[in-house]
Amino acid sequence: KAGVTQTPRYLIKTRGQQVTLSCSPISGHRSVSWYQQTPGQGLQFLFEYFSETQRNKGNFPGRFSGRQFSNSRSEMNVSTLELGDSALYLCASSEGQGEDYSNQPQHFGDGTRLSIL
Amino acid sequence: DAKTTQPTSMDCAEGRAANLPCNHSTISGNEYVYWYRQIHSQGPQYIIHGLKNNETNEMASLIITEDRKSSTLILPHATLRDTAVYYCIVRVSTIFFTGGGADGLTFGKGTHLIIQP
């Protein structure tokens, strides 16, 4: 089975621009979560989508948004980029179904490294 | 979610068992213990998880104390490729999730495991 695929792997933007990152989950997985990893703050949860709906959300400003398509692929958008948004953005997928979906592990892609100049 | 405490770094000789401790003294009965690892420039890799019982898979064993206040991840025959940062995470069961919040994984700083040749 193919793993989680994230594109692009590297991206350079300037302040004020916006960016869209893409994630293709493992086949059959319906939940997609996004994380931000920086040297200072470590790995932080952004949000999770399941069946095209945002199911959980972390503590990030509204500039960070996402969506999920009917094939479970997901995109994340960051608007009005700031220098502090430079980070590795990770996507993780899981089956996500059932009442105790926390008992299903999330599987991560290798991320998109975003640099803001 | 409960917090975890892990040693900052550990060394282990190649071919020996690597035993990584994690303290989660404030864990509640409805929280899972998850272990992930992250090799430089890659996304986190799922290793194993459990609730109350010890667990074993092809990668590792997870030993959870009877009072659930601590756990140990065991890599039975460490190789150089096991050098990575290992994260111990507790995650509340979504059966008891009150919703409206963040059911993402909460990563701490982890243990940097170095396998020595």
List the beta bridge partners of residue B95.
none
Residues B93, A100: C-beta atoms closer than 8 Å: yes
B53 touches chain A (CB under 8 A): no
B102 Cβ neighbours under 8 A, 6+ residues apart: A45, A56, A57, A58, A59
pLDDT of residue A12: 98
Cα gap B60→A59, rounded to integer Å = 33
pLDDT of the residue at B102: 54
Which has the higher per-residue pLDDT, A48 or A1?
Answer: A48
A40-79 burial, b if ≥16 CB within 10 A, otherwise e?
A: eeebbbbbbbbeeeebbbbebeeebbbebeeebbbbbebe
Q: Which residue of B has its CA nearest to A46?
A: B104
Is there a contact between B92 and A102 if contact means CB atoms under 8 Å apart? yes
Amino acid at B84: A
Dihedral sign (CA A96, A101, A106, A112): positive
Q: CA of B33, closest CA in chain A: separation in Å?
A: 10
A101 contacts chain B (CB < 8 A): yes
User: Quick check: A109 and B43 CB within 8 A?
Assistant: yes
Split at pLDDT 50, 70, 90, the class of B30 is confident
Q: pLDDT tens digits for B57-112?
A: 999 999 999 999 999 999 999 999 999 999 999 988 877 666 555 578 889 999 99
Strand A5-7 versus strand A53-57 pairing type: unpaired
Given CB atoms, is A70 within the 8 Å cutoff of chain B? Answer: no
pLDDT for residue B98: 60
Say if the Cβ atoms of A56 and B101 lie within 8 Å: yes
Question: Which pLDDT band, with edges at 50, 70 and 90, does B22 fall under?
Answer: very high
In a 3-state reduction of DSSP, which class is residue B94? helix
- CB within 8 Å of A60: residues ≥ 6 apart: A36, A44, A46, A47
Instruction: Please check whether residue A49 is in contact with residue A64, taking contact to mean a CB–CB distance below 8 angstroms.
Output: no
* Higher pLDDT, residue B104 or A83: A83
Q: Are B63 and B72 in contact (CB under 8 A)?
A: yes
Q: Residue A4 and residue B42: Cβ atoms within 8 Å?
A: no
Q: What is the pLDDT of residue B2?
A: 57
Contact B43 A110 (CB under 8 A): yes
φ and ψ of A82, to 5 deg: -120, 160
What is the full DSSP assignment across A36-58? Answer: EEETTTEEEEEEEEETTEEEEE-
- Give B22 to chain A, closest Cα distance, Å: 18
Window from A19-28, A47-56, B98-107 with minimum mean pLDDT: B98-107
Q: Which residues of A touch B94 (CB under 8 A)?
A: 99-102
Percent of chain B whose predicted confidence (pLDDT) is above 90: 78
Note whether B42 and A3 are within 8 A (CB).
no
Between CA A94 and CA B7 the distance in angstroms is: 29
Residue B3 has pLDDT above 90, yes or no: no
pLDDT at A101 over 60: yes
Per-residue pLDDT averaged across A15-31, rounded? 97
User: Is the dihedral angle over the CA atoms A58, A84, A78, A25 positive or is it negative?
Assistant: negative
Cβ distance B34 to A105 less than 8 Å, yes or no, reads yes
Does an H or E element contain A33, and which? strand A31-38
Q: What is the pLDDT of residues B99-109, one digit of tens each?
A: 555 578 889 99
